[in-house]
Every structure is written in structure tokens, then in C-alpha cells.
């Protein structure tokens, strides 16, 4: 898939984002370039804002388009604020969703609300408006007709600004020829049309441009036509408009379904939901990737995960818990799969005999999740695939499990040298993913029994070899989405492990103390929501699956 690294747009643009392949050695240069780019972008946005204000003033001055003694003036116009202030309850059932308009509704009177995606004036007597609601579109026809639609109304409609919100009343008709420019196979013959909320005349990006696929752009270039390519920074700087595209509407509905299945499956397995603090005294994971802050004169951190508190919940006899909430990592990483804030899907549970019990939950949870997405999100997946083509995820009914040593051996057999007691880097993870797909026919698998040295301090060592641990990672399309393990529940060993990982034991004393009152063996895992959606949909950047992404250089909008 081609990356969005170039802007051919006459609308607002920005320099391309840092390459996904950049490593930490180039981060200083990246920051310098990105700061200059941010200043340049701010200047462009300010210039655009002034242009928009001038255009809006002109539009307001001319929009009193002569109601010229029009006897049908009540059938169109701007809705005054007083009419939008919820004066009295109305029948919600009188409205029809654009996505539900179909041939069976022929000759029915309908009332729809949506955005004026495109407006085309044919003559003084006719205009077309494509109205969009939640990714679905319908063509609306305005034809001057005695006693129904006046020429002034056609003129009013022709002067609408793109992306303005409009209310349309009309009759459903079925055209002889199929409609190519809308999702719905019917038209609405307009009788009344009102502008509820006016968009600025000049927009920083156009939805049709932002919805265009790389394949479309390349085909046009080969045919000698230059189409607009909206790059990633421009999209994220104008995210409110960008998320109106059909692909983005699909992405975030798919994301919602992932969270729904996660919650419903775990509830059915006797887990219950908890909410842990995001302000903590010490780091959750260790290492330097911590956002530190002042908490009323005391040092504090934003939680890197709910790890410590979900374990404390198990010590409190909660048995099986899960959480969906924000996770913060102060990593200076400019890769395609890292964010400084993401949504964590976390699980913790008592185990009776073996850490495989946790892996069993992972297996059944994700197979159920993938099945649900394929069955219930067909339209959304299709919308994503039109802009970002991808192959459906290959997965087994019973998820493949390999030990870390088996994975290392597969890599060695393929000529890739790997430290048997080290971690896998991004390149080797992807290589192993390809080898697993070739050998086992799956893009979703579990790799367990990792070297202890590369796992967090609270990870339980293996009984038969302390160099390895009762831990696992889970992969989709060669990239990690889950880390999990059996936890250390013996306080003395836990304190020893924390010190060995460079953590000040005093900052996590309440956590360690919670194990001194009797703690059951337990384990769990954490999942990055955005990464799951990115990899399931075969997307090339995690920022596409974060509603308003936060990375080392972005904290707005």
C-alpha cells in the first residue's frame, strides 16, 4: 500500500510525516524538521482562517438572496437559531436515515438530515445535492415546479456551502439509470430544503479528496490527470473533517465493535469491569517511558498500564477483572505503530494450575472477536477496503501456540540469527510472521515462554529454567498486539525483581504490600485497541485508528 507522503492539494497541506522506518538515531533531526513543519503549517492555517472569514462575510452579505416576494419562501432558507433551541418535543420517528432509503420506499414522503457533500447547479430551474449521513449518501433533485419549488429556491440550494448541514423533505423516486455518485439506489425529489448549520465556504480539506485511495490517484496520474492527495499531517490537523470519510466512519465503528466484543465476551466468562487510577506514585512498567508530573508537591506519573492496580484487585478477591481505559507511554518513537496515549484492553485473572489458562482466554476471545467483525461489520470493512485495500485476516479456529525457542529455531532455519535470550525486533517479528503463515496458514498466533530478561519485573520465571518466563506475546500479521504472563505473587521475589529492573521499591510499596496479606496465583494480559484495528484492517499507520492521536510531536487537535 502506498504511503500518504505527498500532497498535491490546492487546499491546506503540510510536509510529509516522519518515515515509519526511521530509528531513534534520527529522532533529533525528525524533531527539528517537524517543529519547522509545524510552524509552517500554523502560518498556512492562519492564512486559511482569514480567507475563510472573508468568504463567510461575503456569503452572509449575499445569502439574503432575494426572497423577492417569493410566495414559496417558506419552503427553503437558513433555519433561525430560535428554531434550533429545542422549543418543543417532536416525533423522532418522522426522520428517515439516509442509509435506509431504498427502492421499496418509492413515492413515500421522507424527511432526512445530512451534510451537503456536493452541490451541482444544472440551470436556473434545476440543481442536485448529494446529502451524506454517517457515510451513506443520497442524490436529491431540486426542480423548479409551479406551486412547489421556486427558481429562488433552486438558486438558494445552488449557493449552499459544501459540508453544511441541511434538512430535506421530498418524495422518494427510483431513476431509470443506476446512480453512480451515491450509495443509495434512489433519489429524493425535493419539496423543502433548509440549511441548519452553514459550513465555511472554503474548507481546509474536501471529504472526497480525503476519501480517495492511492490506487485511484495512481490510475489518474497514469491517465494524465492529477488528483488531490491529502497527506497524513494535513488529515490529522483537520481531523474533524477527515473522520467524515467512509473509510474513517468504518474504522471507528469497527473499533467500537472490538471494544463491545471484548466486554461482552469477558462478562460471559465471569469477569467484571474495574476502573483503576491513571495518576500513580511510581512507574507501572519500569524504564524511562514515563510521563512524570507534580502531584500537589509530590512526584507522580501517568500510568503506563493498569498493571499494578488490576493485580491488587485480584489480591482483593475480585477473581477475574478487565478494564478499557487510557494508557500513557512517554516514548520518543516515530514509528507507524507507537503512540504516547492509546486505549488499553486489560485482563487479569486467578489461575489454578498453569498460565495456559490465560492463553486459553486470549484464544477464545480473539477468535470470537474476529468472527464478530467479519459477520457484523461487512459494510464497514468494505468501506475501509475501498480506500485502503487489504486481504481478510487468516486465523485458525484453535489458535496456534509456539514457544519462543521454537520461533527462534524457525528463524534460524530461515537464515536469520537471533539471540535466544534476547527479544525479537520489528524486522524479526515480521519475518517470523511470514514463516508462520507459510507453514501453518495463520496470521494470528501466540508465542510464549519468553526470556525473563526482556519481560517486566512482575513476570513469573519458568520453574524449569529461570532464564525463561511464564509469559507470552500475541501477533497479528507479524506485529505484536498483546503481552501477557503469569505474575509474581510472592512479595520477596517481587521486590527483588523490581530492584533488579531499576525500580525504586519505595514508590510501589503499596503494590508489593498487597501481596503480603495472601495473594492467589494469577496472570493477565494487555492489548492495544488501536493496534488491533490497524492490523485487522491491514492499515499502515496506527494514527489511522486513533481518533485524535497523541505522539511525540502531536497534542492537538
The CATH code of the domain that includes 446 is 3.30.930.10
Strand ranges for 255-404 from DSSP E: 272-273, 279-280, 292-295, 298-302, 320-328, 341-350, 400-403
User: How far, in Å, CA of 275 to CA of 323, rounded?
Assistant: 6
Q: Are residues 372 and 298 in the same domain?
A: yes
165 occurs within a structural domain: yes
554 occurs within a structural domain: no
Q: Are residues 166 and 314 in the same domain?
A: no
Q: Are residues 171 and 219 in the same domain?
A: no
Is pTM, for the whole model, over 0.75?
yes
User: Do 76 and 156 contact (CB within 8 A), yes or no?
Assistant: yes
Strand order in the sheet with 292-295: 279-280, 298-302, 292-295
CA dihedral sign, ordered 145, 149, 150, 153: negative
Q: Are residues 269 and 365 in the same domain?
A: yes
| Residue position matching grid coordinates 471507528 | 252
Q: Are residues 268 and 146 in the same domain?
A: no
Q: Are residues 217 and 273 in the same domain?
A: no
User: How far, in Å, CA of 535 to CA of 476, rounded?
Assistant: 6
240 occurs within a structural domain: yes
| Residue position matching grid coordinates 441541511 | 166
Residue at a domain's end among 197, 223, 258: 197
409 occurs within a structural domain: yes
pLDDT given for residue 12 in this prediction: 38
Q: Are residues 182 and 213 in the same domain?
A: no
Q: Are residues 357 and 395 in the same domain?
A: yes
User: Do 255 and 377 contact (CB within 8 A), yes or no?
Assistant: no
| Residue position matching grid coordinates 470493512 | 381
The domain total for the chain is: 3
146 occurs within a structural domain: yes
19 occurs within a structural domain: no
Q: What does each C-alpha distance from 154 to 123, 157, 197, 527 come to in angstroms?
A: 9, 5, 18, 53
pLDDT given for residue 68 in this prediction: 57
Type and span of the H or E element at 355: none
Q: Are residues 310 and 222 in the same domain?
A: no
Beta bridge partners of 112: 168
Q: What does each C-alpha distance from 555 to 39, 148, 495 come to in angstroms?
A: 14, 51, 36
Taking the CA atoms of residue 516, residue 517, residue 522 and residue 524 in that order, the dihedral angle to the nearest 10 degrees is -80
Q: Give DSSP secondary structure letters for 146-161.
A: TTTB-HHHHHHHHTPP
Active-site positions?
329, 331, 337-338, 480, 483, 531
Domain of 172: which CATH number? 2.40.50.140
Beta strand 136-143 with 471-476 is unpaired
Three-state SS for 413? helix
Q: Are residues 431 and 284 in the same domain?
A: yes
20 occurs within a structural domain: no
401 occurs within a structural domain: yes
Q: Are residues 162 and 222 in the same domain?
A: no
pLDDT given for residue 14 in this prediction: 39
Strand ranges for 382-456 from DSSP E: 400-403, 444-448
pLDDT given for residue 502 in this prediction: 85
**Radius of gyration (C-alpha) of the chain in whole angstroms:** 28
Residue at a domain's end among 244, 271, 304: 244
pLDDT given for residue 551 in this prediction: 94
- Nearest-CA neighbor of 129 among 149, 159, 106, 150? 159
User: How far, in Å, CA of 161 to CA of 113, rounded?
Assistant: 15
User: How far, in Å, CA of 358 to CA of 104, rounded?
Assistant: 50
Cell for 491?
Answer: 512479595
Q: Are residues 344 and 229 in the same domain?
A: no
| Residue position matching grid coordinates 502531584 | 295
User: Do 473 and 447 contact (CB within 8 A), yes or no?
Assistant: yes
Domain that holds residue 233: 207-244
- Ordered per-residue pLDDT tens for the chain, 557 residues: 433 333 333 333 333 444 434 344 444 444 555 566 667 767 777 776 666 666 555 455 444 444 558 999 999 999 988 888 886 666 767 899 999 999 999 999 999 999 999 999 999 999 999 999 998 999 999 999 999 999 999 999 999 999 999 999 999 999 999 998 899 999 999 999 999 999 999 999 999 999 999 999 999 999 999 999 999 999 999 999 999 999 999 999 999 999 999 999 999 999 999 999 999 987 666 556 899 999 999 999 999 999 989 999 999 999 999 999 999 999 888 899 999 999 999 999 999 999 999 999 999 999 999 999 999 999 999 999 999 999 999 999 999 999 999 999 999 999 999 999 999 999 999 999 999 999 999 999 999 999 999 999 999 999 999 999 999 999 999 999 999 999 999 999 999 999 988 888 988 898 899 999 999 999 999 999 999 999 999 999 999 999 999 999 999 99
User: How far, in Å, CA of 100 to CA of 62, rounded?
Assistant: 36
Give residue 191's region: left, alpha or beta (phi > 0; psi -120 to 50): alpha
User: How far, in Å, CA of 457 to CA of 284, rounded?
Assistant: 10
Amino acid at each position: 500500500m502506498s504511503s500518504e507522503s505527498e500532497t498535491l492539494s490546492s487546499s491546506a497541506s503540510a510536509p510529509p510525516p516522519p518515515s515509519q522506518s526511521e530509528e531513534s538515531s534520527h529522532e533529533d533531526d525528525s524533531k527539528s524538521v517537524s517543529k519547522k513543519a509545524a510552524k509552517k503549517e500554523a502560518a498556512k492555517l492562519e492564512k486559511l482562517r482569514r480567507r475563510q472569514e472573508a468568504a463567510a462575510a461575503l456569503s452572509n452579505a449575499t445569502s439574503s438572496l432575494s426572497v423577492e416576494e417569493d410566495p414559496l419562501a417558506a419552503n427553503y432558507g437558513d433555519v433561525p437559531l430560535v428554531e434550533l433551541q429545542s422549543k418543543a418535543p417532536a416525533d423522532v420517528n418522522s426522520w428517515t436515515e439516509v442509509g435506509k432509503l431504498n427502492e421499496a420506499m418509492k413515492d413515500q414522503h421522507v424527511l432526512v438530515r445530512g451534510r451537503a457533500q456536493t452541490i451541482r447547479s444544472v440551470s436556473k430551474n434545476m440543481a442536485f445535492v448529494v446529502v451524506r449521513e454517517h457515510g451513506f449518501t443520497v442524490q436529491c433533485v431540486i426542480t423548479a415546479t409551479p406551486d412547489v419549488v421556486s427558481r429562488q429556491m433552486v438558486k438558494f440550494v445552488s449557493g449552499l456551502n459544501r459540508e453544511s448541514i441541511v434538512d430535506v423533505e421530498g418524495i422518494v423516486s427510483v431513476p431509470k439509470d443506476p446512480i453512480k455518485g451515491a450509495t443509495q439506489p434512489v433519489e429524493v425529489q425535493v419539496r423543502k430544503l433548509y440549511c441548519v448549520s452553514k459550513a465555511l465556504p472554503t474548507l481546509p480539506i474536501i471529504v472526497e479528496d480525503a476519501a480517495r485511495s492511492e490506487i485511484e490517484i495512481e490510475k489518474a496520474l497514469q491517465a494524465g490527470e492529477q488528483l488531490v492527495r491529502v497527506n497524513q499531517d494535513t488529515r490529522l490537523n483537520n481531523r474533524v473533517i477527515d473522520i467524515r470519510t467512509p473509510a474513517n466512519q468504518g474504522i471507528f465503528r469497527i473499533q467500537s465493535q472490538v471494544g463491545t466484543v471484548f466486554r461482552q465476551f469477558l462478562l460471559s466468562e465471569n469477569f467484571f469491569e474495574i476502573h483503576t487510577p491513571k495518576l500513580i506514585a511510581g512507574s507501572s512498567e519500569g524504564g524511562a517511558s514515563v510521563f512524570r508530573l507534580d502531584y500537589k508537591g509530590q512526584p507522580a506519573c501517568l500510568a503506563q498500564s493498569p498493571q499494578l492496580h488490576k493485580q491488587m484487585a485480584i489480591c482483593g478477591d475480585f477473581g477475574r477483572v478487565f478494564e478499557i481505559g487510557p494508557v500513557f507511554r512517554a516514548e520518543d518513537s516515530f514509528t507507524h505503530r507507537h503512540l504516547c496515549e492509546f486505549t488499553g484492553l486489560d485482563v487479569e485473572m486467578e489461575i489454578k494450575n498453569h498460565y495456559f489458562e490465560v492463553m486459553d482466554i486470549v484464544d477464545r476471545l480473539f477468535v470470537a472477536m474476529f468472527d464478530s467483525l467479519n459477520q457484523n461489520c461487512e459494510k464497514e470493512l468494505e468501506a475501509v477496503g475501498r480506500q485502503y485495500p487489504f486481504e481478510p485476516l487468516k486465523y485458525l479456529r484453535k489458535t496456534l501456540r509456539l514457544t519462543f525457542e521454537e520461533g527462534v529455531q524457525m528463524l534460524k532455519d530461515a537464515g536469520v540469527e537471533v539471540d535466544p535470550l534476547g527479544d525479537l525486533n520489528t524486522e524479526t517479528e515480521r519475518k517470523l510472521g511470514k514463516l508462520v503463515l507459510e507453514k501453518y496458514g495463520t496470521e494470528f498466533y501466540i508465542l510464549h515462554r519468553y526470556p525473563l530478561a526482556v519481560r517486566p519485573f512482575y513476570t513469573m520465571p519458568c520453574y524449569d529454567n529461570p532464564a525463561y518466563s511464564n509469559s507470552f506475546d500475541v501477533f497479528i500479521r507479524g506485529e505484536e498486539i498483546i503481552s501477557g504472563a503469569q505474575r509474581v505473587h510472592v512479595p520477596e521475589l517481587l521486590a527483588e525483581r523490581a530492584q533488579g529492573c531499576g525500580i525504586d521499591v519505595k514508590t510501589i510499596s503499596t503494590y508489593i504490600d498487597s501481596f503480603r496479606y495472601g495473594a492467589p496465583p494469577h496472570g493477565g494480559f494487555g492489548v492495544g485497541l488501536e493496534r488491533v484495528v490497524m492490523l485487522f484492517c491491514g492499515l499502515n499507520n496506527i494514527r489511522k485508528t486513533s481518533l485524535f492521536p497523541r505522539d511525540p510531536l502531536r497534542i492537538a487537535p
